[in-house]
Amino acid sequence: MPVSKALQLAREAKARMVDFKFADFMGVWQHFSIPLSELDEDAFENGFGFDASSMKGWQPIHVSDMLIMPDPKTAIMDPFMSEKTLSLICDVVDPITKESYTRDPRYIARKAESYLKSTGIAETAYFGPEAEFFIFDHIAFDQTENGAFYRIDSEEGRWNTGREDIQNLGYKPRYKEGYFPVSPTDSQQDIRTEMVLEMEKVGIHVECQHHEVASAGQAEIDMRFAPLVEMGDKLLWFKYIVKNVARRRNKTVTFMPKPLFNDNGSGMHIHVSLWKGDKPLFAGDRYGGLSETALYFMGGILKHAAAMCAFTNPTTNSYRRLVPGFEAPINLAYSSRNRSASLRIPMYSSNPKAKRIEFRTPDPSCNGYLGFAAILMAGLDGIKNQIDPGQPMDKNIYKLSPEEMKNIAQVPSSLDEALAALKADHEFLLKGDVFTEDVIEKWIEYKMESEVAPIRLRPVPYEFGLYYDI
């Protein structure tokens, strides 16, 4: 959409305000707004200033000035503002040199798309994430020097079957049995539908919505695949819409991978395919109907999976989900149909255009721009170096004997382990200057200092049960 069209959209919609949205280093949307009278064609060239020292992992205070550059192609009316507001997603640039900011996640994603084309392997990488989340009715948490707690509640929570202080009608999904029940057990059909309809207003093509496996309102809404940068944008719209619809209904949403003990966590299985023109490059006559290119792509993912987890599973909480027994794909293997492998080949359709791979390890706490870019770079490394993914695993991995399990690698068991893997293995990310040493170093530094180290300092309540009387 050219600048003139974006301005025309604002006028025709009778917008009074303009909202600029951009992703910080962690992949969380930030924003500020201006009156529509302040937006003209020159503004798209000159940008708007902001303080980047107040953003996680970005500029130090002595060089804090940065510019956001609105992308006119992303113009859409925001569905939640009380005044009619034009929304624009922005890129971040240096105010002196006007060069793109190396730590801008959207810029990294754009470079990944450019690098793909430069290799001649393919022209487009499509990504289709299946983001899961929880819809709760109440959340409270605190941490002080002499105490810590969190308390979650949901009218669907199985733990509420015995409550007598309210009218209790039952119909609460059993732990690990929340997949696909009809109402009244599924009490959240209407709120998920409302989320879908809001997504359609901003141009997101939704394929399906349903209740997920866990008790207490676990949900999934699936978006149709899109190119890398476009899907990075859509994933942020997705989170924005889901949270705001929940807030409108006096509920709260979390994309935290493992908020509940002893029930399934939230993953974000990511479907990936490469195309050259109108030709799908992952369809062929090899295992699972894949091409040799697709097998090498999976080889790259399996080789670099531990390092990629620093971006695809980027929180300490991510590794509460990546444990045996909760359908979490911790084993680095591939298979057709088998959901216990970290890489699956969906077999729903024989149409070559539907042939893709599904990376099941990631979770929805990830920065989509960085996570998708890392997956693409690992896969391309596999193709360029013809990395053999080994033999498929068509057995239920969770039921293999210890002897059979010895040769199957697993994902890291903690964030610091994933960050160490990234430090040791990131050359594949530097190709084409997609990621830079500065980005890798800052990511590791921020995550270690702001997340890993603080978690290490704090006792958790269960430790008192284990050790208080020791």
Say if residues 228 and 112 touch (Cβ distance below 8 Å): yes
Distance CA 140, CA 20 (A): 31
User: What's the longest Cα–Cα distance across the chain?
Assistant: 71
Distance CA 301, CA 350 (A): 24
Neighbours of 184 (CB within 10 A): 11
**Nearest Cα residue to 358 out of 347, 373, 366, 349:** 347
Question: For residue 331, which phi and psi values (nearest 5 degrees)?
Answer: -95, 130
Write out the two tokens for 112: 């990944």
Active site residues: 51, 130, 132, 212, 220, 269, 339, 358, 360
Cβ-in-10-Å burial (0-12, 13-18, 19+) of 47 comes to buried
Rounded to an integer, what is the distance from CA 210 to the centroid of its chain?
Answer: 18
- β pairing state of 17-23 and 48-51: unpaired
Question: For residue 11, which phi and psi values (nearest 5 degrees)?
Answer: -65, -45
Contacts of 153 (CB under 8 A, 6+ apart): 136, 137, 138, 139, 160
Say if residues 418 and 306 touch (Cβ distance below 8 Å): yes
Any idea what the Cα angle at residue 204 is, between residues 202 and 208, rounded to 5°?
135
The owner of tokens 């909480």 is: 317
* Residues counted in the chain: 470
